[in-house]
Copies of this chain bind each other. A is one copy, B any other.
Amino acid sequence: MRPSGRKLNEMRSVSIETGVTKHAEGSCLIKMGDTHVLCTATIEDRVPPFIKGSGLGWVTAEYGMLPRSTSSRMRREAATGKQGGRTVEIQRLIGRALRAGVDRVALGERQITIDCDVIQADGGTRCASITGGWVALRLAVDKLMKAGLVTSNPLVDPVAAVSCGIYAGQPVLDLDYPEDSEAGVDGNFIMLASGRLIEVQMSAEGATYSRDQMNQLLDLAEKGVAELVVAQKAAVNA
């Protein structure tokens, strides 16, 4: 029934390749099916003005799509002269999500910027960015710990994200683009490996949903996140 032939509760194949760029302190290329996102982590000693001198660290994110990551070419945002509303929303979400998994005291007064650049898009780029972004973050923090600059682990539990939605009347896990563009209801679910929730964004376009349906999607999301955490752990220990 799903265009890809997947079962309702079946994720796309996930692969996370680390160390893909030589300059970044942490990096990975995450592939969720045909969605490919390059995530890099940059460590800097400066922090935003509003926490200067607080001893607390900061994690932030930027997101972009290559112009031809999509089926028809998008205008390059650098040429347009500004980041679109969707881009701004997504990068704020990624930053907020990752910070929820960071002990900012343990990190110390430094900033880590996660850049998520979509090489190829097929739905779910924001969730892939969070899941891959955590891996890049983990690798960068590992460098700080190996160098003795950070002594207590600030990343206690992995952060991962997956989208679920109601497609053709059925709750399905990990929407790809053909499903996403048809689904009247879809949500992004961001969790810790422990199952604790960080953020739920569940919205409808031309439809509404019941609390029952919301709970069905949450059940699917828990399954999906558990599988993503396995992939994250394998990647960072590789």
Q: Which residues of A contact B (CB under 8 A)?
A: 21-24, 27, 34, 38, 40, 42, 44, 62, 64, 66-71, 73, 76-83, 85, 87-89, 91-92, 96, 99-100, 104, 113, 115, 117, 119-121, 187, 192, 196-211, 214, 218
Contacts and interface: CB of A to CB of B under 8 A. Distances in A.
Contact of A205 (B88, B96, B115): B96
Contacts of A23: 68-71, 120-121
Interface of A is mostly: mixed
A121 to B, nearest CB: 8
Nearest to A27: B68
Nearest to A196: B208
Contacts of A87: 78
A199 B214 CA distance: 10
Contacts of A196: 208-210
B208 A197 contact: yes
B200 A208 contact: no
Nearest to A71: B23
Contact of A200 (B69, B73, B119, B200): B200
Given A85-B88, A197-B211, A214-B197, A99 B206 contact: yes
